[in-house]
Chain A
Amino acid sequence: MLRALQIVFGVLVVAFLILPIIAILPLAFTSSVFLTYPIPAYSLRWFEELVTADVWRLSIVNSLIIGIGATVLSTVLGTLAALGLRRSALPLAGLLRTLFLLPMVVPAVVLGVGMQILLVRLGLASSYTGVIIAHAVLCVPFVVVSVSAALQGIDPAIERAAMSLGAPPVTVFRRVTLPLAVPGVVSGAVFAFATSLDEVVITLFVAGPNQRTLARQMFSSIRENISPTVAAAALLLIVGTLCLAALAALLRRREKRATALP
């Protein structure tokens, strides 16, 4: 009896978690202008719309530009900081770590308001630079967490061994530490890109009409005039993030093997 109850409960919750995401995917291929089932016929017209309509095409390009910019910026800054935080040679390392994680905690709307006022004062409002900076702030925690975890997994004995064989610190870093940290850096970058891709709220505050991202465009489309293009864009995002997630999982597995083997 209890067993049956458990199974029913488990199936129901799994369905609640997964089905909504799956349910909208077929609607991307509908030929109708309505987002309803049953689907009258299948067509690719909404994907066509996605790549031909100016607003959508521009938003996809913008998402890529801003995503890559924010990823590069946050990955460089976050990786350097994670390397600096390692072995906590610094006083106040705990405080710094908390500072690096805070962008994840502060409500996006609050940061958005402050960011908007500041960027207007700095003359960066409605510019790609401004949006990339704002996104990078949100991406930093993911990079720091991911790279720190990878660095923590490195056995200090390996580095000591390299040093005892006569390698100077720079060589140890370049030939031993960095290669072992690379999977962490890449999965941090993947997290960063996914975060930027999905960001709407800050974008609403700091981006002008020329910096509209795909997520921002989906937001206004759902709000104002929903069409199956949204489902097509959702499919694009799901496939994109799943590929990124698979990449990150693959790297984490390799990272585990790499640190376990030697």
Chain B
Amino acid sequence: MSRPSIRDRAWAAALVAPLVLFLVLFFVWPLWTMVTASVVDDAVTKVLPRTAAAMAQWDGNDLPPPAVQTAFAEDLRSAEDQQALGEAVRRLNSAVSGFRTLLSRTVTAAREAADLASLDLAAIDRRWSDPRFWRAIRDAVPPYTDRNLLAALDLKRDASGNITAEDPGTAANRVIMLRTFVIAGTVTLVCALIGLPYAMLAASASGLVRALLLLAVLLPLWTSLLVRTAAWFILLQQEGLINDALMAIGLIDGPLPLIFNRLGVIIAMTHVLLPFMVLPIYSVLIAVPRNLMPAAASLGAGPLRAFWRVLLPLAMPGLMSGCLLVFMVAIGYYITPALVGGANDQMISSVIAFYALGTANWGMAGALGLILLAVTLLLYVVYGRLSRSPQLPGGA
């Protein structure tokens, strides 16, 4: 092929441009918005710009100097946007409760005052002589914050600004992250233990048997994720088919708790993710010459030794790709744990969804989302390196 001409390049660029624009607008931008939501903290700065500038004069001890107090009163007097003011109040109230009444009283007083410079805030409300409230304002005026990112890792800043551990009572995120990794790791391990022999079986079979074995993997991949989760929900429930069958053959006397616990989540997730393990291993094994195992046997290797020394090393790239793929997809799972799991089986995605959908706390949702995104992309880069072509098997 000759080198592409400038004309060809212009055509190619024009064809690719709409999708690039679309994805920048509706894929890259949303992710960027989420990341910024976790670090931007400008609700207070927007309403109190003069105070923010004046705060530099205060060392944080005792009460702020009169210049800060005057700037604060001026800001409150000129605060026109009720919605912005409401957001600032909400932000401050979340740091120290009591700000709601305090600010509404002070705003009224600042609007009515004739001379702001001589306005005595402590006379309006005694709480203004408490440095705690001023410190909360000082902490809230910087437009960017690491509060959410620290909180996502169960850390916080103490009064003097040093990073310390969150109180054990409120710290929950590390536990959930660890749980996410444990569940994803368990599912990956189970998938590998079932997937490797299954892929070997499919690769060594031929004709109808191989087609059947592959169809069994592809069919679930083609079936709606929700249908599969619904199926497990129905099978695992207390009067479900599995409990009924086990009781009918007399293995158990009462129903086993299979749903709303860890076991149910792992069974359902393994079912959903097993194809992602089988297919990469199969695609590697299918390229292995068929006479390799007989050759190993003829050289005196037993079946186990031939597997360990010949087939397993050859299957390794597929196994690694499969493990990475399953783990990567598993850590972001939401639907299956949400439907089949109990309260103690919820993974990081559930917490993100809780902050975003339940409490509209974009900061925390963004911070936890950023962590999940970073881990996933890291795994994807490794996966891409490992499998050379950055493509997932179809139907992902």
Contacts and interface: CB of A to CB of B under 8 A. Distances in A.
B18 interface: yes
State the main secondary structure of chain A at its contact with B: helix
A81 B11 CA distance: 11
A198 B224 contact: yes
Interface of B: 1, 4, 8-9, 11-20, 22-23, 26-27, 29-35, 37, 194, 197-198, 201, 212-213, 216-217, 219-220, 222-235, 237, 239-241, 244, 271, 274, 303, 328, 331-332, 334-335, 338-339, 349, 352-353, 356-357, 362, 365-366, 369, 372-373, 376-377, 380, 384, 390-392, 394-396
A113 B23 contact: no
B226 A24 contact: no
A197 B224 contact: yes
A258 interface: no
Given A77-B19, A114-B32, A222 B12 contact: no
Contact of A134 (B18, B26, B224): B26
Interface string A14-58: 101110110110010000001111000000000000000000000
B228 A200 contact: no
A13 B216 contact: yes
Given A77-B18, A85-B12, A237-B227, 19 more contacts: A13-B194, A13-B216, A17-B220, A24-B235, A36-B239, A81-B16, A102-B27, A105-B377, A106-B376, A107-B376, A113-B352, A114-B30, A118-B26, A198-B226, A201-B334, A205-B357, A222-B229, A234-B224, A234-B230
A234 B224 CA distance: 8
Contact of B220 (A18, A105, A117, A201): A18
Contacts of A245: 222
Nearest to B239: A36
Interface in A205-251: 205, 215, 218-219, 222-223, 226, 230-231, 234, 237-238, 241-242, 245
A27 B235 CA distance: 11
Contacts of B225: 198, 200
Contacts of B390: 97-98, 101
B369 A101 contact: no
Nearest to A83: B15
A110 interface: yes
24 contacts: A10-B198, A17-B219, A17-B220, A81-B20, A83-B15, A84-B11, A84-B14, A89-B11, A90-B16, A100-B19, A106-B373, A107-B334, A109-B353, A110-B372, A114-B29, A114-B34, A115-B30, A136-B26, A140-B23, A145-B394, A200-B226, A215-B226, A241-B222, A245-B222
A204 B353 contact: yes
Given A108-B332, A245-B222, A89 B394 contact: no
B239 A204 contact: no
A107 B391 CA distance: 16
Contacts of A77: 18-19, 22
B26 A137 contact: yes
Contacts of B1: 87, 156
Contacts of A16: 194, 271
Contacts of B240: 36
A2 to B, nearest CB: 7
Most-contacted residue by chain B among A110, A115, A191, A226 (CB, 10 A): A110
A176 interface: no
Contacts of B394: 142, 145, 191
Contacts of A113: 34, 37, 352, 356, 362, 365-366, 369
Nearest to B268: A20
